[in-house]
Amino acid sequence: MLPFLGWLKSMSPRDARADLIAGVSGAVLVLPQGVAYALIAGLPPAYGLYAAIVVAVIAGLFGSSRHMVSGPAAAISMVVFGTVSTLAAPGSPEYLPLVLALTFMVGLIQLSLGLLRMGALVNLISHTVVIGFTAGAGVLIATSQLRHLFGIELGDATSFLGTWWTLFGHLSETSWATLATGMSTLLVAVLVRRINRRLPWMLVAMAVGCGVAALLGGSGAGIPMVGALSGSLPPLSLPPLGFDTLRSLGGAAFALAVLGLIEAVSIARAIGVRSHQRIDGNQEFIGQGLSNLVGSFFSCFAGSGSFTRSGANYDAGARTPLSVIVAALIVLAVLLLVPDVTAWLPLPAMAGLIMVIAANLIKFSHIRQILAVSHEEAVILVITFLATLLLPLEFAIFAGVLVSLVLYLNRTSRPRLVEMAPDPEHPELGVRNAERYQLTQCREVVILRVDGSLFFGAVDHVQSKLARYNGKHVILLGTGCNFIDIAGAEMLEIEQQRLRDNGGSLSMCGFRKYALEVMERGGFLERIGREQYFHTAEAAIVALRESVAEAHRGHDGDPAECADCQLFGPAGMGPGQGVRLTPPLA
């Protein structure tokens, strides 16, 4: 519960020096990012620095990762803006209190999940949903900055389609000085990143943007400025938590809490792989929850882990979260001692930087991989991406999860029944995939391997498949069956009776212990017939020998169609010749 006690006790002077250097490097990175993310969230720049101080320190002290840096994050900031801007206009007296209430609720949900040991919850949100959502958030962030980049007043247009539609209708009003400032900043940022990602590209690009704005006349030429910081400590605040506020923000708070946890845990694990540190997901939940909960009382908006700052922190040689505390103290010093540092910062320059940040949220390599590998995953990606652009952001996450769940249930409700047969060329391998290896089955016996679970959702599909083998002897291999419920066991009982009534039978072998226990406790094994269950496929085949021989004798002795039977004909595999079960992917 108090992970900071561990690294404080083990810290050496060498560790402290390394953390001090990493902290200075982190402060240089977080200063422009904090300002940028506050603007994305629709807040004055100082609030981004408040979050970079309070949220970062609390998460560093109570999280399990020694290198992850928390605080304002791009996608989280966009969700904050997208949620609260539907209830109050940015800059209005109602906007900030709603942001703080949302942050409080997010922190409370995250902390509760951590205390309840529900760290596995993030595993229910697929990687594809996160990729689609963050890509959509990146496009939305870039779209939100168009008004600042072009210097066009777009009125109340805040939606994706509304912003673009209004922009095209007002292109003639473009401020060319503003556009030149923003584009020069954007191009320099891209160029510096291309040359060397370790360089402070944001600061370099911002310096160029300030220079271009000054050459073009600055505010006198109509170029808007960010404005000075407050020059004070993060003010204490009390989030409004009335019933109407809780009701209007509840759904968004849960979605934002889960998204923040996914980002934080994913980043912590990624950095943990490099640092060889094992991450405690539940403790990370607690750290993130406390950081947002406490932050809401210090005028902070919701934050999460930052991959950029975390990676830079580790690369700079950080050993413990002391580096995060050092960075926060430097940011606090800037906030108190040089609050005018942003007074001459052009707003279009910040828009250019934010667009580069937004582009980084779109993981093109992951998207190409998803589109190339899986049709189902591609559908999830596209639907989540479009939902992010066109729906309220909290619903976009739920839409992606819902589509993932529907496709998963559709897939699990259609387990494969794979026809198997002995391979005469490789008898030592036992039964193999008949279609893949072009093997023929006995006319009277079919061997089927179940690849999937036999649960209520799969019953109809499996029954329709088994109906093709009416009157035959079916041997069902359970090596690929991970789960069976009462409905699945009832289905096996029904199919045994149906096949028996038509002159066939159902034999089972290779099912796992759990499946057998379900059938045993429910009395299904007794009703199906204990004599129909075998430990191996060979034993099931031997038990059917007499029944099948009887059927063969009905074909005028030994007809040619049965001469090549791989089970019972002259070329067949008799007892002791090693008919074995094969793995599910054989």
Helix (H) or strand (E) holding 110: helix 95-115
Q: Residue 348: what pLDDT?
A: 93
- Helix pair angle (459-466, 486-501), 10° resolution: 20
**Residue 255 to residue 252: CA distance in whole angstroms:** 5
**Residue 130 to residue 400: CA distance in whole angstroms:** 9
pLDDT, tens digit only, all 586 positions of the chain:
687 778 778 888 898 999 999 899 888 888 888 998 999 999 999 999 999 999 999 999 999 899 999 999 988 999 999 899 989 989 899 999 999 999 999 999 999 999 998 877 777 778 898 899 889 988 998 998 898 899 988 877 678 888 888 888 888 888 999 999 999 999 999 999 899 877 888 889 999 999 999 999 988 888 998 888 877 888 888 888 888 888 999 989 998 999 899 889 888 887 887 888 888 888 999 999 999 999 999 999 999 998 888 888 888 888 899 999 999 999 999 999 888 888 888 999 989 988 998 888 889 999 999 999 989 999 999 999 999 999 887 788 888 888 988 988 888 999 999 988 877 777 666 677 777 877 777 778 888 999 999 999 999 999 999 888 876 889 999 888 888 999 999 999 999 999 888 888 899 998 988 888 899 998 998 898 888 888 877 788 888 876 676 665 555 545 445 555 666 554 454 444 434 433 433 4
| DSSP letters spanning 65-99 | -SS-EEE--HHHHHHHHHHHTTTS-TTSTTHHHHH
| DSSP letters spanning 520-551 | HHTTHHHHH-GGGEESSHHHHHHHHHHHHHHH
CB atoms < 10 A from the CB of 409, how many?
Answer: 12
Q: Counting beta carbons within 10 angstroms of the beta carbon of residue 292, is it exposed (0 to 12), middle (13 to 18) or buried (19 or more)? A: buried
Sequence-ordered list of residues with C-beta below 8 angstroms from that of 571, at least 6 positions apart, any chain: 424, 563, 564, 565
Q: Residue 349: what pLDDT?
A: 92
Domain 416-563: give its CATH code.
Answer: 3.30.750.24
Q: Residue 482: what pLDDT?
A: 83
Domain boundaries, the chain: 17-405, 416-563
**Residue 336 to residue 339: CA distance in whole angstroms:** 6
- The helix/strand count (H/E) of the chain reads as 24, 8
Q: Residue 228: what pLDDT?
A: 80
